[in-house]
Chain A
Amino acid sequence: MTKVTMTVNGKAVSGEVEGRTLLVSFLREGLGLTGTHVGCDTSQCGACVVHVNGQPAKSCTAFAADLDGASITTIEGMANADGSLGTIQQAFQDHHGLQCGFCTPGMVMSSAALLAENPKPTEMEVRHYLEGNICRCTGYHNIVKAVLAASGQDVSKIAAE
């Protein structure tokens, strides 16, 4: 067992992990942060995306022991300080950017990374950036719409397809 210390959603945490403990297992089982989902467990689907030192990464494909000292943000860290939904989360609700909701944590985390890098993306840029996130309900159109809305762009003219 190895001791790891991280900052998760702004709080210092530590725990004992096995070498093979994945970051997502440490978050879900070690810290009880079950908002991060395991979808495919093969790094294809993106449901497990969290931010590692500000950059999106698939937490099912990283070892907790390899991230000693890292700063992690999960979906639980995306709400406003008063507990209300953050801008991207609110846009997903407003634009029905989720159906079953399973992919949503990863979608929100990837979208947040995109908007940090590119505050006013085009529709194509959003679709391209989210290609590592799979929605099993195939609800992509409203997800893209929500991301564009969260960036402050007018989405009233984007027709449902």
Chain B
Amino acid sequence: MYAFDFERPKTIAEAVKALGREDAQALGGGQTLIPTLKQRLASPSVLVSLNGIKEMIGVRKEGDTLIIGGATPHAVVAKEAGAYPALAALAGAIGDPAVRNRGTIGGSVANDDPAADYPAAVLASGATVVTNARQIAADDFFQGLFTTALEAGEIITEIRFPIPGKANYQKFQQPASRFALTGVFVAKTAGGVRVAVTGASEDGVFRWTDAEQALSSNFAAGAIAGLKVSDDGMIGDLHGTPAYRAHLVKVLTGRAVSAA
């Protein structure tokens, strides 16, 4: 790793100020960023840890909305997001126990890895990403591979999930990394069904709108039987071809609907 300064602010305001320094980088749980720094793929002048900001850690429910602080570790979400069981289950299946104790929801969502689990939940739930500066709808937040609407120095302070009537996440795990080879999150919301796919597309997480339409009129696995998923733009690597991933999208969507 290249050398850098380290700051550990106690409030959001202090963190925003620290991130104003040139080449500053926010640090969540570090489960992706630290390996990246070790490979010298990033060289920030200062790391600003968000892990000491108490107001950004925790899970709470307000009416039909579950609100999760940006610095909340996956293990805490798995334990405390019981009001939204599909989300708690997703959090409890990220990585391994040691990774779940450090990695945070805000870090995962801000990083927007194309195979990460949380982006599928955020997009399918129609969640709102709240930052120190504004509120961003999930549909506007994810903008492609490792690309989000966040501006430099902007921090995810919390994510607000409207709790759907029914929901389920199906992940076909890549067994070595435990990332999703492909994962599908299905949510039956008041405004219709939303289906978000992670791990499959070269453009990152996306909504499978054909399935959403079919499932909104008939919420049953059979409703998507006649649909085809194009392998155009799907990820191809040594773990699976684009056609294989396209196939998984449909299979996992069906399983998620049946399990919801």
Q: Which residues from chain A sit less than 8 Å from chain B, CB to CB?
A: 2, 18-20, 22, 41-44, 46, 49, 52, 55-58, 61-63, 65-66, 68, 110, 113-114, 129, 131-133
Contact = CB atoms under 8 A, between A and B. Distances in A.
A61 B31 contact: yes
B37 A20 contact: yes
A161 B47 CA distance: 48
Interface residues of B, number: 29
B8 A43 contact: no
A55 B75 contact: yes
B4 interface: yes
A58 B98 contact: yes
B236 interface: no
Contact of A66 (B3, B5, B51): B51
Interface in B167-211: 176, 178
B101 A19 contact: no
Contact of A42 (B8, B30, B35, B97): B35
Q: Which among B2, B6, B27, B35 has the highest number of chain A CB atoms within 10 Å?
A: B6
Nearest to A113: B97
Contact of A62 (B6, B30, B97): B30
Q: Which among B2, B46, B51 has the highest number of chain A CB atoms within 10 Å?
A: B51
B194 to A, nearest CB: 30
Interface in B31-57: 31, 34-35, 37-38, 46-47, 49, 51-52
Contact of A18 (B3, B52, B99): B3
A62 B47 contact: no
Contact of B35 (A61, A63, A133): A61
B126 interface: no
Nearest to A17: B6
17 contacts: A19-B3, A43-B31, A43-B35, A57-B101, A58-B99, A58-B102, A61-B34, A61-B35, A62-B30, A63-B30, A65-B6, A66-B6, A66-B27, A131-B178, A132-B98, A132-B99, A133-B96
